[in-house]
Amino acid sequence: MILPPCVVYEDDDLLVVNKPPGWNTHAPGPHAGEGIYDWLKHREPRWAQLAIIHRLDKDTSGLLVFGKTTVANRALTRQFTEREVHKRYILVTDRPVLRDEFTVLSSILRSGAHYESRPLTAGGERSETRFRFLRREGACTWLEAEPVTGRTHQIRVHAAAEGLPILGDALYGGTAAARLHLHAAELALKQPGSGDVLRLAAPPDFATPAARQLRDAVIDRAATDTFRCVQGAADGEPGRYRDRLGGWLLLAGEDPPTGAAASALLGSGEGSPAIQGVYFKQLLRQVRKVPVAEASPQLLTGAATPERLPVRENGVTFELSLTEGYSVGLFLDQRDNRRRLLTGHVAAGFPLSAEGQSGKPEVLNCFAYTCGFSVCAALGGARVTSLDLSRKYLDWGRRNFELNGLDPAAHDFIYGDVFDWLRRLARKDRQFDVLILDPPTFSRSREHGDFRSETDYGLLVSLALPLLRANGVLLASTNTARLMPASFVAQVRGAILGAGRGIVQEHYVPQPPDFPITREEPAYLKTLWLRIAGS
């Protein structure tokens, strides 16, 4: 079991995490990026009953408590409601602070997109915050804030009302900064089971970039050394992307960085080990029309990677190559879906294996590429059939099996057109417990013409369904940006219901947290996990 680094404390009753800045407490919509609550709730079976007890604003970092049982939820909620929980925040302001201690007592009322502090006679909810001077650092002052009550934006509103808007708080008049300088640093509450006082602390870190803090919160570097470091505009760098691939960095964009900028990344502390080399890949729309050598990443500075570069993800080893073309051998945005196959746990109350299922599950991985899904399913105890139109990639997949101590001979690797083989396998009455569909955005075959995920995904599901056993699981995924989540879900559901089969369970997930979703950097990856009844 690999715990996310953000977990500060856990017992039978509660889970406490150190939330990084820039991550919502919970998802703002059904097809939006997961909040930290959603990501945790569906990650471990023992967290299936996780409940939100209190919240932190998206841009506020620090300690956040979740309940794990109904009894604990009730006890914790009572403590927060009756103001028995001691909370200590740290904030930074660049405005002059003239008092060592002061208390703000007012009503807080909503006014459009923000809140306002008004006299108690104005109505609204009574709100109280105690402030205390901590220290000065140059032009900035650090303050402690103790919220006696717990209203939305309370500390931010009260600080601004005193002429001390928090650094980085544009909504309430704060000076522009890389992030909101507000952190939930300490928490004291009674442990629901024993009644003992539990005191927890997480010191603030306003210096490390928010993008780095997010990755540090969700990625255990001992088990995973390949992930997205910068996701374009979502991380404040429009049009630029950066992946960590073991000891190397792969940059992507329209134009390469300057030599000095690339060299500055060598030996940098983007985690351990230090960066040995930096590559650049130009973003291309028509990859098929570009020769392999031109489409492949180009070394900018430092040492070249070995021909076959081993990397780790959730304790699993995969082989990458930066000389084989546009793609390096592993789609990093599918990390959490591979983990689901590895652990056999899809989501809260949704195990991969159906109740009462015995023996090794049979998995069919269509469009298998280098067999990342296949390796994780096999490590999870399944017998896997990998199907792809490229012998080169299937051979690559066999090497991935061997890297993880798996015997490729114990599994099947089928070379050929997926659409043709789905029909052939159906004629042979082959049945599988799990079907994986992660097709390319566009493909073309002589026998079956063009396939476009945007319009034809439902047809693919219809073709694959005869191979899925009753109460089997379908993993349907696409990275087609133009296919909106609602339309994707509708296509998949329509195909299932059109085949006369019912949906027993359904769980939708977007890309993982190191691929954050914002208005400027919309979601593109869409995945549906479904347990499907028989006809």
Collapsing DSSP to helix, strand or coil, 390 comes out as coil
| Residues identified as active-site | 57
Cα 159 from Cα 156, distance rounded (Å): 5
Grouping H, G, I as helix, E, B as strand and the rest as coil, residue 295 is helix
CA–CA distance, 42 with 345 (Å, rounded to integer): 8
Which of 448, 391, 454, 397 lies closest to 421, judged by CA? 448
111 beta partners: 114
Q: How far apart are CA 221 and CA 271, in angstroms?
A: 7
Give the long-range contacts of residues 207-214, CB within 8 A, separation 24 or more: 209/178, 210/20, 210/21, 210/22, 210/178, 210/179, 210/235, 211/22, 211/235, 211/236, 212/270, 213/20, 213/21, 213/22, 213/61, 214/20, 214/21, 214/22, 214/23, 214/513, 214/514, 214/516
SS3 of residue 438 by DSSP: coil
CB 249 within 8 A of CB 279: yes
Separation between Cα atoms, residue 151 and residue 136, nearest integer Å: 28
Per-residue tokens: 176:
């522009």
CB atoms within 10 A of CB 257: 18
- Residue 199 CA from chain centroid, whole number: 29
